[in-house]
A and B are shown apart, each in its own frame.
Chain A
């Protein structure tokens, strides 16, 4: 079963607005990652936040992590039409091997 659950499932905003996506997970993690996927393509790694970090920035992206609530959020500021994609959170677990478990994703549509 998938570990991460994104919310909302779909989001439609105007260009220039901010987009916020949330992710919740169930068990302890080593780190949490966010990926972007354009339609029919592979996933692109955006940002990774470790379990001992609370906030991380990369360009227009801001990720927060609250391990007490087992949740994370991804904020995309000043969105562009090119940001239209699916966004997935993924959690890394030490289960005797390291594998990353993905959620079902948030579909973001940015209208020009």
Chain B
């Protein structure tokens, strides 16, 4: 286990289609975060899990977005009925509850979504 893994790296989809991204965190980490980043901007918080519980969701996460983390391991982020405004880099990060206060997050390389 060498880090946070995200799949796919790139996704091109037509407007109106559904897409699903996967994140595999560092196995010892019990916190998992999703962020969205558009060109020239910093990452924007979407949601986070502690183990399997989704503890917070941003208002950016519309009804078309849903995230899950079954069994507190990997996580999926699904976007339904994609819109061109959903085009962005979707970043996943993980941390230990205690270590997040001292060591920050470990990020994956992201999934770049392009909606055409």
Name the B residues within 8 Å of A45 (CB-CB).
103-107
User: Known contacts being A92-B100, A97-B48, A97-B56, is A103 close to B105, with CB within 8 Å?
Assistant: no
State which of B48, B103, B107 has its C-beta within 8 Å of the C-beta of A43: B107
Interface Cβ pair total, 8 Å cutoff: 72
Chain A contact residues (Cβ within 8 angstroms of B): what range? 20 to 34
State which of B6, B31, B89, B101 has its C-beta within 8 Å of the C-beta of A31: B101
Is B110 interfacial (CB-CB < 8 Å)?
A: yes
Name the A residues within 8 Å of B35 (CB-CB).
102
Contact B45 A99 (CB under 8 A): yes
| Closest-CB distance, B23 to chain A (whole angstroms) | 11
Name the A residues within 8 Å of B55 (CB-CB).
97
Is B2 interfacial (CB-CB < 8 Å)?
A: no
User: Known contacts being A41-B109, A42-B107, is A101 close to B100, with CB within 8 Å?
Assistant: no
* Assembly CA distance A100 to B103 (angstroms): 12
Name the A residues within 8 Å of B107 (CB-CB).
35, 42-45
Name the A residues within 8 Å of B33 (CB-CB).
99-100
Is A22 interfacial (CB-CB < 8 Å)?
A: no
Chain B contact residues (Cβ within 8 angstroms of A): what range? 20 to 34
Is B79 interfacial (CB-CB < 8 Å)?
A: no
Is B85 interfacial (CB-CB < 8 Å)?
A: no
Is A28 interfacial (CB-CB < 8 Å)?
A: no
Is B70 interfacial (CB-CB < 8 Å)?
A: no
* Assembly CA distance A50 to B103 (angstroms): 11
Contact B100 A43 (CB under 8 A): no
Name the A residues within 8 Å of B31 (CB-CB).
98
Can you report 27 residue pairs joining A to B where beta carbons are below 8 Å apart?
A: A2-B44, A4-B42, A30-B101, A35-B107, A40-B89, A41-B110, A42-B4, A42-B6, A43-B105, A45-B106, A48-B104, A88-B42, A90-B42, A92-B101, A97-B50, A98-B97, A99-B56, A100-B33, A100-B105, A101-B45, A102-B35, A102-B43, A102-B44, A103-B42, A104-B41, A104-B42, A105-B41
Q: Which residues of B contact A (CB under 8 A)?
A: 4, 6, 31, 33, 35, 40-45, 48, 50, 55-56, 89, 91, 93, 97, 100-110, 112
